[in-house]
Structure formats: C-alpha cells, structure tokens
Structure 1
Amino acid sequence: MILKTSLFGKVYAFQSVMEVMAKANEEKSGDRLAGVAANSAEERVAAKVVLAQLQLKDLFNNPAVPYEKDEVTRIIVDQVNLRIYESIKNWTVEEFREWLLDTNTTDFNIKHISRGLTAEMIAAVTKLMSNLDLVVAAKKIHIEKTANTTIGRAGTFSARLQPNHPTDDPDGIMASLMEGLSYGIGDAVIGLNPVDDSTESVKRVLHRFEEFRSEWDIPTQTCVLAHVKTQMEAMKQGAPTGLVFQSIAGSEKGNTAFGFDGGTISDANQMALETGMAAGPNVMYFETGQGSELSSDAHYGCDQLTMEARCYGFAKKYDPFLVNTVVGFIGPEYLYDSKQVIRAGLEDHFMGKLTGISMGVDVCYTNHMKTDQNDIENLSVLLTAAGCTYIMGIPHGDDVMLNYQTTGYHETATLRDTFGLKPISEFDQWMEKMGLSENGKLTSRAGDASIFLK
C-alpha cells in the first residue's frame, strides 16, 4: 500500500488511508472546518492519484472507525458477502470506477458486487468521479422497495408530501396536504416534521393522517418524523403508524448523540411490522446529511463524505422503504455554496443507490448559504436524470416550520412531465380516478384542494 506520489516535482506523502480519503474529497467547507481538507488543489489531485491506486482491500482493512470501537463499523462489515469481497478485493479504486462506468456493466452486475462492498469503498470511488460520472453510474441502478406501495420502479419519480406548519395547527397541516395531493405529491410518503415532539402530538397527527388517507382511499404511507422512541411509544398506545423515522449518523457516537443505537432501530422495525399500518416488508425511513457527525464531534477525523457513506451502510441493515439526504439543510458551515451543494447531492444519491438502498434527496438550502432556487432546480434536473427515487414537496418550496428552502409541488410535476415519468403506479391510478391526471398529465383540476372538501 503506497501512500505517496510525486506531482509536478513535489512529493506528497500521506500518513493514513483516511488522510488520503479526506484530502481526495472535493472542496467542502465542512472538511475545511474539521481541519481534514487538502491544503491546495495540487494536494487534492495528489490524494486522488494515491487513492486511485489503492486496492479495495486497503479500504476494507482501514475503516473510518475501528471495528472493535464502533457499532456502525460492525454493522457495515458484518453485512459484507465475503465470497463476493474476495473476488474484488484486489481491484484498485480506479478499476472499480472504470467497471461502474463501463457500458457493459448492468444493474444486475452492480447489485451483485454491492453485497461485497463497505462504505469506505463506496466513498472512495465516489471521490474519483466527476458530476457526470455520478449521474451515469447512478442511472444504472434501480432499487425497489415496498411498504403499502412499491417505490423505485422504472418510469416513476416520486415525492414526499411535507405539510409542515409552524404551530402544528391541524387545519394548516391538512390544507397543505390537500393542495399537495391535488398536484400529485405524496406518493412516496405523507410525512410531517412536528413542532411538538410529544407522544400525544404524534398520535394526534397520525390519527388525522390515517383518517384522511382511509376516507379518500389514497395508496400511500404516512409518517410523523418525531424521534424514533416517541414513535415507538405512540405505536404502543395504538397510533396508526405507517413508516417509522429516524435521523442517522455514520458512527456509533453520532447515533448516540441522536439518542438511539442499532438495537433501538431493530426494535422499531419489528414493532412497525407487527403493529404498523404499512404492509411492508420495508417500513423504515431514515434521513442523513453530510456534516452531521462533525456537529456532534463524532467524525473521528474523517471527511464528511466518508461518514455519509457509512450512514447508508448502517441504513442498509434495516432495509428501509425510504432514505434521503437533506443535502443543504445543515448550512454553509458544511456546504458553503451551490457548487458544493450540487456536488454533495449527486454524491449522496449515487452512494445510496450503490449501497443498495431506496435513495431520495431533499434538494434544499438555508437562507444564509450562497445558493438560490435556480441552483436547487439545477440539482433537481441532474438528480432526475440520474434516476433519483424521490424529492420533497412543500408549499412553494418554503418550509415555514424548519425555515429552509426546498422543492415545491410544481417542481415534481414539471420534472415528471419533462422526463416522461409518473408517480407510483397505484397513486397514478388514484389520481386518474380523482380526475387530477389523464394519461400521465395533470388536468385543470390539479392544484384545486377544494376537491377534498365535502
């Protein structure tokens, strides 16, 4: 294993695999804040040169956090199919990239190899890819998962309906929900971020969602994005829970800061299968975002892309229905501007699909970032071209509760129309029955929430 190279007459030597990984990463303000970024463009190129020649076994043998110290590492490594790993362990990262981009490499081939990968291998190959590479490689991979309906089928593009309200006012929530549904939003999930994280509040919203879903026979799933333990208590008390949600991190220390461990997620998954409203077998919903581990001092000196890849390796064990990266939500401390947000969104989407999970993106930004709505639309187009499973749908793209900007109802409708895509099949049929669409096109009734008022 060689950790140095000569570039333009200067020798660049790195002390560890993780230093190579960090300095090979594209420019991210979070890596700079953590003190792990390359000091110059030349050093970044040198790190990429070294990384390209590392073998996959070098990454297997040098996880971001040691196996004996970290539950996330153990979960990732213990899932590896060793027979497949043995067949690819001598590939260089450069050869792995070329194989992924080869026109003869298919979805079947990639899913097979995926079973022999660790998160560090996935992060490494991502660092060698251009933005277009990330689009091309991700487009090849199709991940289908089933709760009440099946997401990820070819020709579909879905959206989470996120009817957040600054005071959890039931009427305000339902107004946003009705309008969103009338635009064809919500086939992935109807999911609320609550202001009030109490069990009683979660139960109240879940009951309201399920009553409405049942009344209008809407083929989708519901979720209130409270802490996983709060949702478990709500289930114990009889709340009609669809998907069970939790934000996750790429290290045990990060998950501890979020207030849970792998055992908690296993228990929640089992409880949802036994008592939840979703038919399954995929009933979990996870959210991630580059930089969260730095926020809790749980990154172990590693770059944020590598820690993000480990989130997906952790999520894979629980076979979730949905995972999404909230790509620009944490702020400019981690992703400074539109260039970094667009890059991170494409990276995360590709890494999630290569891991084998049902991957979406909350294409978003905060108001103090050097980003605007045009940048978000640019990323949305790139992600749709890359075969992204789903994005968010929020009134006018402005979340008045979480105070950030994302995609609205019109973006999903426009992207579907532009790329010739439809919602999940059952949801698409429901829209036609409601007169909201015809032959895959929205009708004049779309956007009229009053159709749900009796």
Structure 2
Amino acid sequence: MPSYRHMIGSETFRFDSLTALLAAASPQRSGDELAGVAAESEIARVAAQMALADLPLTEFLAEQLVPYEEDEVTRLICDTHDRAAFAPVAHMTVGQFRDWLLSNEADSAALKALARGLTPEMVAAVSKLMRNRDLISVARKIEVITAFRTTMGLAGTVSSRLQPNHPTDDPAGVAASIIDGLLYGIGDAMIGINPATDNVPQAMALIHLLDELRERHAIPTQSCVLTHVTNSIEIINRGAPLDLVFQSIAGTEKANRGFGVDLAVLAEAQDAALSLKRGTMGQNVMYFETGQGAALSADAHFGMDQQTVETRAYAVARAFDPLLVNTVVGFIGPEYLFDGKQITRAGLEDHFCAKLMGVPMGCDVCYTNHSHADQDDMDGLLTLLSDAGCRYFIGVPGADDIMLNYQSLSYHDILYLRESFGLRAAPEFESWLEAQGIIDRAGRIASTPNRLLAEMTRPALSA
C-alpha cells in the first residue's frame, strides 16, 4: 500500500494510505476527531491538502478505500465507472481538477457529461481543496433535472418538501399541517411524512390520506411516507397508491446493512414502484436521505473520514435514478458536526459533491437542540445553498418538527428564497397555485382570501 508525504519547512508529514490522506485533508469536524482519523494539527491538515493536490486522479482507480471483494458499494463504484466520460480529466491531478472546475471551460454541459466519469473518492478529494465560495461557484453551474408529477431542478426554481409530521400520526393534525403548507405554496417536491410508528398498516393509512387529498384537489405533486423500503415493497404488493419509495442510505455495504438494506432490495423496490406507472411528467420513483456521520455511528466507516464515506452514498443514490436526495445535514448531532460552522461546511460539501456526480441533491437545513447552532446559522446555510443553486429544501410548521424533535426550516423560509432570489415553484405546481388563487402572477402569496381554505379544511379534517 503506497504512502504519501509532504514537507513543510523542515518537517515531513507522512500519510500511510489514501484513506489516511483524505481524512487528514478534510476540514475540521467533530466526527473525524471522534473516529481518530482527523489531522493532528492544522499544519498537518495543510500538508495533507498539498499532498492531495499533487495526486493524479487515476490514483483513485488504482486504490480502493474499501476492498472490492468485501463491499458491494465499492463494486458498484468500480463496475459502473464510465472511462469515456472520465477521459477529458484523466490526465489531471486533484489540484488541476479543482482549477478546471472553477474555470469557464467547466460549463453546465461539460459538467453533465463528466458526471458518470467521476468516482465519489475523486469528488470528495477535490472538495477538500475548496473554500466554501469554490463549492458554491461550481455547484451553481450544475443542473440535474428529474420528474414525477412535477419537474425538479429547473433553473430559476426552488422546490420544497412539505413535512407534516405528527407525534401520534393523527390524521387531523397531519391534514392541518398539509393545508397550512399548501396555503404558503409549499409542497411541489413532495408531501412527505415521517411516520411516528413505522409499520405497514400505519404507513398505508397515511398514504391513503395523502392520495385522497391530492386527488380531491388535483394537486400536481407526489407523496411519500418515509417508511422502511421493505415496508414500501409490501405496501405496493397490497395495492396501496404509493408514489415514491424512501430509504436512508450510506456509503458502505456494512453501513447500509445497519439500515436494513442492500443494493438488491433497493432494486426490487424501484422495480415495484416503476410497475405502478404513477408519474405523469417522469418516472423517477426513489427518494433517498443521507447525512455525514451515519457510517461512523454504525461503526462501518473503515477508517474513512465522514465526508468521504458520505460521498460514496451518492454512488448508491445515482444508481437508482432518484427523484430527489437530501442530506439531513445537522440531524445526527454535535458528535459529528459540532457547530453552525461545521454544519454549514458539510451542507455545502454534500450539495457540491452530489451534484457533481449527477445526483439531484437538496438539503434539510437543520440542527438538533443540543448542537452549538441556532436558526441564524440555518438562515446563513439556506442562503448560501440557494446561491449555490440548491433546488430543494424541507419545510416544517414553524421550523420545529414536533415528532422528530429537531429544528429545520419553516414554510416562511422557502418564501424568503423565492422573494429574495426571484425563484419560483416547479412549473406544474405553480400553475395549480395560481389557479387556486394562492399566489398571484408574480409568484407571490396572494393578499386576498382564496377559496381553497374553506374548500380544503372541512373535508380534509374529517378524513
């Protein structure tokens, strides 16, 4: 196994493997320190970044961070690598690749053509050489478009998941939050519920509630109950009107087994959902969530830093052509991302890395109450991600998820993006909002009462 060295002044820094080099080059975060893989000093971190900058991109094809024979995610990465797509940058070092990404030559078309030629490790490596503004500058050039009943990722739009979670899955409470969100123009990405009790009958009850509400008012969106993927397969087998299949995923086979999944069961679920043919604008039927720290918490990171193993999860997502992916960036807690600064950096990294790989990445801009972060930090990350071209966020009533007990964005925060950045909802959903009198022709929430409130409240709450 090769080792890597770099000298600063009279001191030589040695990194015993590519895994160790990537970890040492990663910006500071509490999860890497907890795992014992972080750089031992800021000077060592700079040395690792300089050694990484001189590394040929082809090194990542020669050395695997998790052995091919032992990990199906590694096999997926290797077996699906597109060498023809990689060819335009194959001669570059990581540092040269960074410079090229920031150049005018790397436009939207070039980046789209390159996506399948990049491995997660290449993408993670180049992100470690970038400042926050660099991550923003490159990500904003990348467009990833998907569709089901609405079209996601179009330039000039920002979409939202309406998240009406309830601590007891009470239908009236769920419906009230849905109505609230719709009246703020939220929900074009999906109406997605985390069930308080994860079992097939409860998930089916919520799916029927969502589908009846959607059909009654001809709402052009998609619904999702975030139950385990094996439950989704059973729900489909029982004939329920499931739109999207959800699953949390990670960057190693062992970590995914901790979630109770493997690639085969994800493929089975995708095939089952596709067989329903419920999409009207497209058939992207999968919805994934990720987050830095998941592999470490499962003791399944194989010595990798949390950002590198997180990026490997995007190879899993990419293989299943999802409608949406989002990083639940601050959800796991301060053990992995200590404060607002680390959460901000991680959110920008995750968005950049996924988009560079061709994955439709959004973000749950969030934090737990024991983190060293607050809503001002979330305002900053939300604004930076919007500047970076992030096209999807999660909104919950009052920014406070009363079931999962964490802080996210409010419906008003999505409106802030639309008003401040001149963004619109997905076109199919926006046309519906305007027809219902919820927004005016400029895309702003209408100041006059609309007929939908009286129309929706009574039948929805009695469902």
Q: TM-score range with shorter-chain normalisation?
A: over 0.9
CA distance in 1, matches of 2:156, 2:91: 36
Q: Any unmatched runs of 5+ in structure 1?
A: none
Normalising by structure 1, report the TM-score: 0.98
Q: Secondary structure at the match of 2:369?
A: coil
Q: 1:42 to 1:281 in 2, by over 3 A?
A: same
Q: Secondary structure at the match of 1:20?
A: helix
CA distance in 2, matches of 1:441, 1:244: 32
Q: Secondary structure at the match of 1:96?
A: helix
Deviates more, 1:104-113 or 1:337-346: 104-113
Residue by residue over 1:72-114, the C-alpha shift from the partner in whole angstroms, topping out at 9 and shown as x without a partner, is: 1111222211223344333100011111110232111011122
Question: Partner residue of 1:431?
Answer: 433
CA distance in 2, matches of 1:169, 1:423: 28
CA RMSD of aligned residues (A): 1.3
CA contact (8 A) 1:235 1:276 kept: no
Amino acid at match of 1:312: Y
How many residue pairs match? The answer is 454
Q: Are 2:412 and 1:388 equivalent residues in the alignment?
A: no
Deviation at 1:277, TM superposition (A): 2.9
Question: Partner residue of 1:210?
Answer: 211
Question: Partner residue of 1:94?
Answer: 95
Q: Are 2:323 and 1:321 equivalent residues in the alignment?
A: yes
Q: Secondary structure at the match of 1:325?
A: strand
Deviation at 1:225, TM superposition (A): 0.1
Deviates more, 1:111-120 or 1:248-257: 111-120
Deviation at 1:2, TM superposition (A): 6.8
Question: Partner residue of 1:372?
Answer: 374
Question: Partner residue of 2:457?
Answer: 453
Residue by residue over 1:44-81, the C-alpha shift from the partner in whole angstroms, topping out at 9 and shown as x without a partner, is: 00000000000111112222211111111111222211
Q: Secondary structure at the match of 1:324?
A: strand
Question: Partner residue of 2:461?
Answer: none
Structure 1 runs of 4+ aligned residues shifted over 4 Å read 445-451
CA contact (8 A) 2:3 2:17 kept: no
CA distance in 1, matches of 2:444, 2:366: 26
CA contact (8 A) 1:437 1:446 kept: no
Deviation at 1:270, TM superposition (A): 0.6
Question: Partner residue of 2:444?
Answer: 441
Q: 1:449 to 1:341 in 2, by over 3 A?
A: farther
Question: Partner residue of 2:310?
Answer: 308
Give runs of aligned pairs for residues 192-231 of structure 1, distance below 5 A: 192-231=193-232
Deviation at 1:450, TM superposition (A): 4.4
Question: Partner residue of 2:341?
Answer: 339
CA contact (8 A) 1:60 1:120 kept: no
CA distance in 1, matches of 2:455, 2:329: 34
CA distance in 1, matches of 2:234, 2:336: 34
Residue by residue over 1:276-331, the C-alpha shift from the partner in whole angstroms, topping out at 9 and shown as x without a partner, is: 63343211000000000011111000000001100001110000000000000000
Question: Partner residue of 2:28?
Answer: 27
Normalising by structure 2, report the TM-score: 0.96
Give runs of aligned pairs for residues 54-453 of structure 1, distance below 5 A: 54-275=55-276, 277-279=278-280, 280-438=282-440, 439-444=442-447, 449-453=453-457
Amino acid at match of 1:418: S
Amino acid at match of 2:142: I
Q: Secondary structure at the match of 2:85?
A: helix
Q: Secondary structure at the match of 2:176?
A: helix
Q: Secondary structure at the match of 1:335?
A: coil
CA contact (8 A) 1:156 1:424 kept: yes
Q: Are 2:14 and 1:13 equivalent residues in the alignment?
A: yes
CA contact (8 A) 2:179 2:457 kept: no
CA contact (8 A) 2:148 2:323 kept: yes
CA distance in 1, matches of 2:144, 2:352: 12
CA distance in 2, matches of 1:384, 1:127: 21
Sequence identity percentage: 49
Amino acid at match of 1:452: M
Amino acid at match of 1:215: R
Amino acid at match of 1:453: T
CA contact (8 A) 2:3 2:16 kept: no
Deviation at 1:149, TM superposition (A): 1.6
Residue by residue over 1:365-420, the C-alpha shift from the partner in whole angstroms, topping out at 9 and shown as x without a partner, is: 00000000000010000000000021111000000000000001000011111000
CA distance in 1, matches of 2:102, 2:214: 42
CA distance in 2, matches of 1:2, 1:337: 33
Q: Secondary structure at the match of 1:266?
A: helix
Amino acid at match of 1:117: L
Amino acid at match of 1:3: Y
Amino acid at match of 1:39: E
Q: Secondary structure at the match of 2:58?
A: helix
CA distance in 2, matches of 1:42, 1:349: 27
Q: 1:404 to 1:449 in 2, by over 3 A?
A: farther
Residue by residue over 1:411-438, the C-alpha shift from the partner in whole angstroms, topping out at 9 and shown as x without a partner, is: 0011111000000001001110111111
Amino acid at match of 1:294: L
CA contact (8 A) 1:219 1:427 kept: yes
